Amino acid sequence: MANYGAIWDGRLSRSETPKEVAQWRWLRAQGVKTIVTLDHNRINVGKFGFENFLWIPLDKGAPPTNVAAERVLKFVQDPDHQPAHIQSAEGTDRLATMVALIRYAIDGQTMEAALAEAHRLNEGQELSPAQVEWLYTWAANHQPGSHRRQ
């Protein structure tokens, strides 16, 4: 699968949205229980055996809302949802933005380190000005690691 990789080994992974039934089945065979999708199209992931689903539709170049960000941060840390998988078919920038948020808000990385990973995940392209501004605004109002589950 395109852009597949671990965010947290055995607990959270990421990729582009599977395009074929075999890719969905492969993902489930990896042990993934939960899907977080950033796509506008809602997918019936239950037919592939996934137990939980979080839908946060984002436009290309658009950041999440603060409410959506809080939902993702809480959802991916819930042991009942792990291993979870976050995906987007409509552009790597959305996925990269959410990974940067996770790295900063949960893992406690600096925003600069989180943005460097986002740049790599976004195929070497910068995030949109709106996404970068939103991440820095988030950082101005939240300490690194402030959303780590206790």
Q: Residue 129 is part of which domain span?
A: 5-140
Q: What is the pLDDT of residues 24-81, one digit of tens each?
A: 999 999 999 999 999 998 889 999 999 999 999 999 899 999 999 999 999 999 999 9
Tally of structural domains, the chain: 1
Residue 1, pLDDT > 80, answer: no
Q: Residue type at 35?
A: I
Residue 91, pLDDT > 90, answer: no
Q: Please state, as a whole number, how many other Cβ atoms lie within 10 Å of the Cβ of residue 93.
A: 24
Q: What is the mean pLDDT of residues 91-115?
A: 94
Q: Is residue 44 part of a domain?
A: yes
Q: Is residue 146 part of a domain?
A: no
Q: Is residue 148 part of a domain?
A: no
Q: Is residue 73 part of a domain?
A: yes
Q: Is residue 109 part of a domain?
A: yes
Supply the pLDDT for residue 89.
85
Q: Is residue 57 part of a domain?
A: yes
- Which of 8-12, 48-52, 86-90 is predicted with the least confidence, judged by mean pLDDT? 86-90
Q: What is the mean pLDDT of residues 100-109?
A: 97
Q: Which residues pair with 117 in a beta bridge?
A: none
Q: Is residue 145 part of a domain?
A: no
CATH code for the domain of 24? 3.90.190.10
Residue 150, pLDDT > 80, answer: no
Q: Is residue 21 part of a domain?
A: yes
Q: Residue type at 39?
A: D
Query: In the Cβ-directed half-sphere of 65, how many Cα atoms lie within 13 Å?
Result: 5
